[in-house]
Amino acid sequence: MRRTIRSLSVLLLAGLLAAACAAPRQAPTTGGEPAGAKLRVGLVTDTGGVNDKSFNQSAWAGVQKAVAEFGVEAKFIESKQPTDYEKNIDQFATENYDIIITVGFLMGDATAAKAKQYPNIKFGIVDYAYFPTKDSPSCNDTVKDCYDDGGLKNVTSLMFQEDEVGFLAGVVAGGMTQSNVVCTVSGMEIPPVVRFVTGFQNGAKWINPNVSALNVYIPSFIDPAKGKETGNSMIDQGCDVVFGVGGNTGNGGLLAAKERGKMAIGVDTDQYETYPEVREVLLTSAAKNVDVAVFEFIKSVREGRFKAGINTANLKNGGVGLAPYHDWENKIPDSVKAKVQEAINGLKDGSLKTGY
């Protein structure tokens, strides 16, 4: 019996150690000057983590750019699960960070709650805009504006018109498809993903009315194996251009396209750089310049220009856009490229609508 108790306690210790190791991943702080003089920026990622080859990674890149240019001090924490969001924000707040950037639609409620709790910290949230809604935990409809009088005076929402760049990706896909079937391997059915998908489908139909656009939502951003098999299912149904919209899950779709010799379109960043294994089939990527938005946000705080509210990045201000065609530069016909340009102009001057 005594031996059992002893070994149990050893086990408990091992478990604790392991749990400590499993604690959220943190990057070392950058910069060697004494703290206090410098602006301190904390980034809380969604479950995808800073190596998701996608928007979390891009947000961290924006922070790193601010580190390089302004010498701010920066650190990130990765959320392992949604219950970590508030805890991770707390960690930065208790260390008196000046700016906390939260990445992703799913962190909307956590960010609002914490922004109210720490009114002196400036929050930037990627992909979530607050609107007064009945019974909403973050901003209910007793107010007119969530930012001005809803208690979120210290929050800026960094929003992107994914539907615009999704539309352009759709134009490329609709112009390149041989089978007249294009498809999207999507992550969770949340507004940014839906905007991408809707824009994509309408763009494909705009250039090519005969096209049919398939789509499957997968309730995870970290399930590439499922993403790949879903891509395979749609390729079985004739799809020959796969648009992966969902972090690592979407990356699975790109891989399916590569293995079956079809075409693919990346998302969020120029995936030619972040996912080199699929280069040969990658037509382009529907990029959200999260890095630019995050960098500009830090810059605005640094220069005392912080403004609560919604900050929308679109084609017009260069916040979203198609990545280069890279290896496909010479294989995409000029007629398709001309249509892409036509769509860009139309979306910019408002004569063309994405249908979202």
Partner 1 sequence: MNTTRFMWRSGWITIVVVVVGLFGAWVLLNAVIGGRCDAACVVGSLSQALRLATPIAFAALCGVICERAGVVDIGIEGKMLMSAMTCYAINLFGFQVLKDSMGAEAAGSLSRLLAVGLGMLSALLLAMLHAVVSIRFKVDQIISGTVINILAIGVTGYMYRSFLAENLPAGPGTFPILNIPFLANLPVIGPILFQQKPLTYVMLILMVAVHYVLFFTPWGLRTRAVGEHPRAADTLGINVFRTRYVNVWIGGLVAGLGGAWFTLEAVDVFNPLMTNGLGFIGLAAMIFGKWNPFGALAGALIFGLGSSVTSTVSIFRPDIPSQIPQMLPYILTIIVLTGVVGRAVPPAADGQPYEK
Residues that bind partner 1 (CB under 8 A): 3-4, 7-8, 11, 14-15, 17-22, 25, 48-53, 80, 189, 214-220, 222-230, 232-234, 236-237, 248, 251-252, 255, 259, 275-277
Q: Which residues fall within 8 angstroms of residue 223, CB to CB, at 6 or more apart?
A: 248, 249, 252
Kindly tell me the sign of the dihedral angle through the C-alpha atoms of 21, 23, 26, 28. Answer: negative
Quote the least distance from Cβ 112 to partner 1, whole Å.
Answer: 24
CA distances from 115 to 90, 94, 236 (A): 10, 13, 47
Q: Which is nearer to partner 1, 25 or 326 (CB)?
A: 25
Quote the least distance from Cβ 195 to partner 1, whole Å.
Answer: 16
Tokens 């749609």: give the residue: 234
Dump strand ranges (E) for the chain.
40-45, 73-78, 99-103, 122-126, 155-160, 181-186, 212-217, 241-245, 263-268, 282-288, 309-313, 320-322
Token output for 241: 């251009």
Quote the least distance from Cβ 61 to partner 1, whole Å.
Answer: 10
Torsion of CA 335, 318, 353, 250, to 10 degrees: 80
Taking alpha carbons only, the member of 107, 146, 143 closest to residue 124 is 107
Alpha-carbon distance 234 to 226, whole Å? 13
Q: Which is nearer to partner 1, 6 or 307 (CB)?
A: 6
Q: Which is nearer to partner 1, 68 or 225 (CB)?
A: 225
- In this structure, are strands 263-268 and 282-288 parallel, antiparallel, or unpaired? parallel
CB atoms inside a 10 Å sphere around CB 203? 34
Q: Which is nearer to partner 1, 219 or 318 (CB)?
A: 219
Token output for 125: 């949230």
Quote the least distance from Cβ 242 to partner 1, whole Å.
Answer: 13
Quote the least distance from Cβ 13 to partner 1, whole Å.
Answer: 10
Taking alpha carbons only, the member of 162, 194, 146 closest to residue 313 is 162
Token output for 98: 């000046």
DSSP secondary-structure letter at 121?
A: S
* 214, 236 contact by CB (below 8 A): no
Phi/psi region, residue 65 (left: phi>0; alpha: psi -120 to 50; beta: rest), is alpha
Quote the least distance from Cβ 155 to partner 1, whole Å.
Answer: 29
Quote the least distance from Cβ 261 to partner 1, whole Å.
Answer: 12
Quote the least distance from Cβ 137 to partner 1, whole Å.
Answer: 21
Q: Which is nearer to partner 1, 25 or 316 (CB)?
A: 25
Alpha-carbon distance 283 to 90, whole Å? 41
Quote the least distance from Cβ 207 to partner 1, whole Å.
Answer: 21
